[in-house]
Amino acid sequence: MAKYINGTNFNILKWARERSGYSVEAAAKSLNKDKSFIIECESGERALTYVQLEKLADKYKRPVALFFLPNPPEEENFVDKLALRRSEVKKLEPRVHFLLRHAYSRQLSLMELNNNTNLAENKLYLDFNAKLNDSPIELAKKIRVYINIDTNMQTKWKNTTEALGNWRNCIEEKGVFIFKDAFKDNSVDGFCLLHPEFPVIYLNNSRAAVRQIFTLMHELAHILLGKNGVTRGINPHGTKIETFCNKFAAEFLVPSDDFETHTNYVEYDDDVVEKLATHYKVSRPVILLKLVEKRILNFEDYQYRVKRWTSLYDLHKKKKSDKDSPGGGSYYNTQATYLGYKYMALAFNRYNQGLCSIEELADYLNVKVKQIPQFEDRLLKTLK
């Protein structure tokens, strides 16, 4: 018979579950129990076996030792700092809660890798201090000049994958690090966390490149405003902050002055919208957003088309997943994409200078020691 363990802190049991974004029902299900079991454990009325505690620790992504501490650790509640309504916070999947903590750990790693100082020659997040009553259009124009990429260069990029890589590189050169991951939450496109030296942006790599591009610029606007944020798609009639960030992103990616020279069509059907989206390497909803701003289309047109496109995309995706065999691309390619080559180069540079052990390098890269040669090979091929 399994032995029950003493000494677990029931307050930390509840704290860890709530911080991980799990409901009482979800936690109980992982143990094949009903909700009353978790309620009793979190109130100190019932003890857990060690196996049960391990299962909860694994679900909450916490070390088992945490549950024996006298008090919960001092840890920022990043979800509370996001620019979200309380009703929206409750809808965030546990995976997003975990990634917020992960983003914070990346910031700590960046502090170690750079001796507490961002080495970017020009720091975008310090050179601009935007306010909500500023014009997002004018701000986008200034950032375009600052980053030094004009529409002529942008429209010559081969495809949206190349565009995303180039936007990511140029923004990281200005001191903002960009990471990716599979969010496993279809309602969230990305988020950002502020920091005095290392603000970071996380993108949902499950999204199409065009959507990641818009999310990147949307989160960049949050950083310029000094506001942590999360992106849940494009809504022209969202909160004041979200509206500002959407307008900034749309203007940055499709500058109005240039767009004016391409709006001489008699009718803006799907083919025309697709043509404009391909030209600027953006998504079709971004083009619709610009057309709504110019009052060529109304908001009802925007809603109707986006809903129709989403339905068609979901249907296509389902059919494709039914046909595709299991498996995927290279693990090393995927992880390198998640980390970004700038971050990987920092980690390997610290190791090659003898400033950290191979175990610490593996920790920075979130891989096993035996996987490091493959990651280094991937980095060297990219830098050639």
- Note the pLDDT of residue 85: 45
SS3 call for 334: helix
Residue ranges of the chain with pLDDT lower than 70?
1-2, 76-90, 233-238, 314, 316-329, 382-384
Domain match, 281 and 356 both: no
CA dist 16 and 73 (Å) reads: 10
Domain count for the chain: 3
The domain boundary residue, chosen from 292, 321, 350 = 321
Domain match, 239 and 342 both: no
Domain match, 131 and 152 both: yes
Domain match, 358 and 239 both: no
Please name the amino acid found at residue 361.
Answer: L
Domain match, 250 and 144 both: yes
Q: What pLDDT, in 10s, does the model give residues 218-276?
A: 999 999 999 998 887 666 566 889 899 999 999 999 999 999 998 888 889 999 999 99
Domain match, 239 and 203 both: yes
Residues in contact with 177: Cβ distance below 8 Å, sequence separation at least 6, in sequence order: 106, 110, 198, 199, 200, 201, 340, 342, 343
- Note the pLDDT of residue 324: 52
Residue 69 lies in a domain: no
Domain match, 176 and 258 both: yes
Domain match, 35 and 159 both: no
pTM, two decimals, is: 0.85
Q: Are 201 and 223 in contact (CB under 8 A)?
A: yes
CATH code, 30: 1.10.260.40
Domain match, 133 and 11 both: no
Residue 153 lies in a domain: yes
SS3 call for 195: coil
The domain boundary residue, chosen from 321, 341, 374 = 321
- Note the pLDDT of residue 3: 81
Report the mean per-residue pLDDT for the chain: 88
Instruction: Note the residue count of the chain.
Output: 384
Domain match, 54 and 171 both: no
CA dist 177 and 202 (Å) reads: 9
Residue 193 lies in a domain: yes
Domain match, 205 and 348 both: no
Structural domain boundaries enclosing 11: 1-64
Domain match, 297 and 168 both: yes
Residue 302 lies in a domain: yes
